[in-house]
Structure 1
């Protein structure tokens, strides 16, 4: 690291911020609407600093824009879709995007939007999460570009892949004296105290620690570092990040201003905040049965992801189509007009689920989600193929992979108990008597009936169902 006397702009060797994308997209797109106009129309922005000047800058030349990503969890979730779609709109218009993972700031914790102190995360946990998030971010934008290519007309603008960064690279060896001289010198305590994230905590019984109090300075330092090393001019964040973003804009202008700089000099650096999304019922967007809906298939299956959007309310679906898809706004309006006439058809929800699932999980993921829906909810199993069913339901508890000896020539009532379709063999027999137990959508009428090879669809599949809700999909292993 350079000595303190050289100043902040040489703290990092140039090699620290080099990046080597696996592939560079030559695909580019023509979008009729202006960038900020489109973001506003799609409700993807809450606030913008100096919007008129920013509009002029993004029209004049490509900008570099960054978004911070918290590494306290290993996977992205649907709550990330709002800022990530905002970032995607910049990328589609030829701007360089920089998702910045807080490998260093994640060790401290952001007080924004919290009433109590975050517990400190273990270094090993943050390091692992950074690696997982890096993969997840690159995968998201790769699939998003494939999604966009099918929907948007091409233009001459070149598109670069995301330049994913980790602020641990420049904060881990930061000299305290240098930090105080370059960041602390330009920061005013009274301004820091007035930030909403700080003032709310000061009014609480627990108060705020010095560690969390200085978080805004570290985030401001990130913006300054990216501004000087990558030419970054724009920061995107959730609306709870407004104070931290303003701190970064102020630091850029104070640190870059030479002695004697006249008042009213052109300011540098811009901030954009995205709305914190809630449903029409007032619930926080992105939760399903109390759990965050993940963009990582290991945490949330493609089927569950698809169903989450398919369950969107009539009051929310129009807003989500604008925010989470690249469909033309005229098409969204047309879809909603038709939907409002026959809401029971849920055509808008189905379109939303299809679009967002393809955006996040690709065409293959969408096909698997649709097959799972077809099997489990529409009960269309006539053309089912074993390998497709396994791929569609992998990770779903309704799927049971069994040896032939475990299921063939076994009473169906016993299988009902084994796969928890009934509480016991006796309860399963009562289910048969009540005509509530089905094999391949046909009611079982004999309590002594056994599963035979002749019952298997595609030679390997059996669909067991108790009533209308409980399902077991049995696949006989080869």
Structure 2
């Protein structure tokens, strides 16, 4: 039988107020599939020949990637699939960012050894609203970045479409779900998924709710395929099983459909962004670097990429920037001649900060970086305050507290050091500085002469942790 998906408005009919289609310039770019592979943005593809056929088809078909609303903002772990979507967008493909307002209430078992706690419905709704703003902000800034990095042509490209799968799941009854999706799902195939096998071996096992998650996400792909001409799903490599569920469902529909599609559906996964120890970056891992400057300051965001190990610079320049592969090769070659100058890291930090936070954000990151490490700080106090406006490193302190409290206590009270003993140990080891001068007296207090321009003092613990105390 033919699957019966309830229709919603297709891309061309989405309402103007919320799902606006914007005509902008597109760009003169290398062929898409080889470019994605050469940049290391492809982990697996269900059918590369089909992907090539879809990419070459006119008119352009839509591509989508899902975002789990477990947090209220995007983090750097989202950047790889977002960059993949950006490459599709600048080549004229309609791009859909699907927020899992429905699936987020169940929880994705992929990559997890324990079951997620059910999220509160109101929290998920709040996260969905915040994520909409984050997604729009990223693609708005990224499109401006693309205009500055790739020669424009006279063609047009689509603005990002943001969807929420609660639209079609909220009124999807169990019987309809079983007749539409369940009848085509093979239990042995579902059990073979890596995410399921991992959980079946764990002591807690796997709940039925999480077991069926792959079918819910599979239906998302099917729904967008039927109603929005979406033929490609992009996701992290941990989503492979869920993506296959959608492709399988679409293929089953095609087998029983009178109107056969010559294109079909394709799943594409991107590598996961991991730490040096192999841990996945993300909120649940406790190491998220957010794209929202209110959650991660622009300075911290910039410094995160500036601290990229030499071995990862070429890979990250290819993944996270739109610089040509030829220029990246030249940069890496020059970097290898004098790695201590950190040419590749500086370019990477500049490019990603510009793409995410725009020109103003990059200027702010440059100013803060230059000022916090400048040995000659005289006359720069107001510049430092301006550069760190809104940054948690900048703390305003009463004059009596600033001048009458031991420096190590100021460091602890304002979050620079975790404890008094840790602060004193750092001072004793000459790893603590005041205005870029090493401090040796464990019990010293600040004097008026220590205040730059009579306004601020900069405390530094180790090489990277800063605290700027300013008089209220």
TM over 0.5: yes
Shift of 1:285: 4.8
Which position in structure 2 is the counterpart of 1:36? 33
Separation (CA, whole Å) in 2 of partners of 1:84 and 1:469? 29
Where do 1:122-141 residues align within 5 Å? 122-141=120-139
Greater CA drift, 114-123 or 124-133: 114-123
Which position in structure 2 is the counterpart of 1:151? 149
Which position in structure 1 is the counterpart of 2:274? 278
Which position in structure 2 is the counterpart of 1:381? 377
Q: Does 1:303 align with 2:299?
A: yes
**Pair 144,252 (structure 1): closer, same or farther in 2 beyond 3 Å:** same
Which position in structure 1 is the counterpart of 2:395? 400
Which position in structure 1 is the counterpart of 2:103? 105
Greater CA drift, 291-300 or 372-381: 372-381
Report SS of the residue matched to 2:227.
Answer: helix
Report SS of the residue matched to 2:5.
Answer: helix
Greater CA drift, 327-336 or 157-166: 157-166
Report SS of the residue matched to 1:117.
Answer: coil
**Pair 134,380 (structure 1): closer, same or farther in 2 beyond 3 Å:** farther
Shift of 1:381: 2.9
Which position in structure 2 is the counterpart of 1:76? 74
Separation (CA, whole Å) in 2 of partners of 1:198 and 1:289? 20
Q: Does 1:475 align with 2:470?
A: yes
Q: Flag structure 1 segments of 5+ consecutive residues without an equivalent.
A: none
1:324 to 320, 324, 340: 320
Greater CA drift, 299-308 or 188-197: 188-197
Greater CA drift, 8-17 or 326-335: 8-17
Which position in structure 1 is the counterpart of 2:265? 269
Contact 1:288 1:308 in 2 (8 A): no
Separation (CA, whole Å) in 2 of partners of 1:156 and 1:147? 18
**Pair 142,418 (structure 1): closer, same or farther in 2 beyond 3 Å:** same
Q: Does 1:334 align with 2:330?
A: yes
Separation (CA, whole Å) in 2 of partners of 1:468 and 1:227? 51
Q: Does 1:347 align with 2:346?
A: no
Separation (CA, whole Å) in 1 of partners of 2:341 and 2:186? 57
Shift of 1:25: 4.8
- Residue by residue, what CA displacement relative to the aligned partner does 1:41-93 show, whole Å, maximum 9, x if unpaired? 00001111221232122122211001010111222111111111001100111
- Residue by residue, what CA displacement relative to the aligned partner does 1:77-120 show, whole Å, maximum 9, x if unpaired? 11111111001100111111101010000111112122222211
Which position in structure 2 is the counterpart of 1:451? 448
**Pair 464,115 (structure 1): closer, same or farther in 2 beyond 3 Å:** closer
**Structure with the greater alpha carbon radius of gyration:** 1
1:191 to 182, 189, 192: 189
Separation (CA, whole Å) in 1 of partners of 2:203 and 2:463? 51
Shift of 1:319: 0.6
Which position in structure 1 is the counterpart of 2:46? 49
Report SS of the residue matched to 1:130.
Answer: helix
Report SS of the residue matched to 1:9.
Answer: coil
Q: Flag structure 2 segments of 5+ consecutive residues without an equivalent.
A: none
Contact 1:440 1:462 in 2 (8 A): no
Contact 2:66 2:235 in 1 (8 A): yes
Shift of 1:361: 1.5
Contact 1:93 1:157 in 2 (8 A): no
Contact 2:434 2:457 in 1 (8 A): no
Which position in structure 1 is the counterpart of 2:309? 313
**Pair 39,451 (structure 1): closer, same or farther in 2 beyond 3 Å:** same
Shift of 1:321: 0.5
Separation (CA, whole Å) in 1 of partners of 2:399 and 2:19? 44
Separation (CA, whole Å) in 2 of partners of 1:245 and 1:95? 20
Greater CA drift, 189-198 or 414-423: 414-423
Contact 2:81 2:270 in 1 (8 A): yes
- Residue by residue, what CA displacement relative to the aligned partner does 1:180-237 show, whole Å, maximum 9, x if unpaired? 1111122222222222222332333332211111111111111111112211111011
If the length of structure 2 is used for normalisation, what is the TM-score? 0.85
Contact 2:101 2:128 in 1 (8 A): yes
Report SS of the residue matched to 2:155.
Answer: coil
If the length of structure 1 is used for normalisation, what is the TM-score? 0.84
Separation (CA, whole Å) in 2 of partners of 1:467 and 1:252? 55
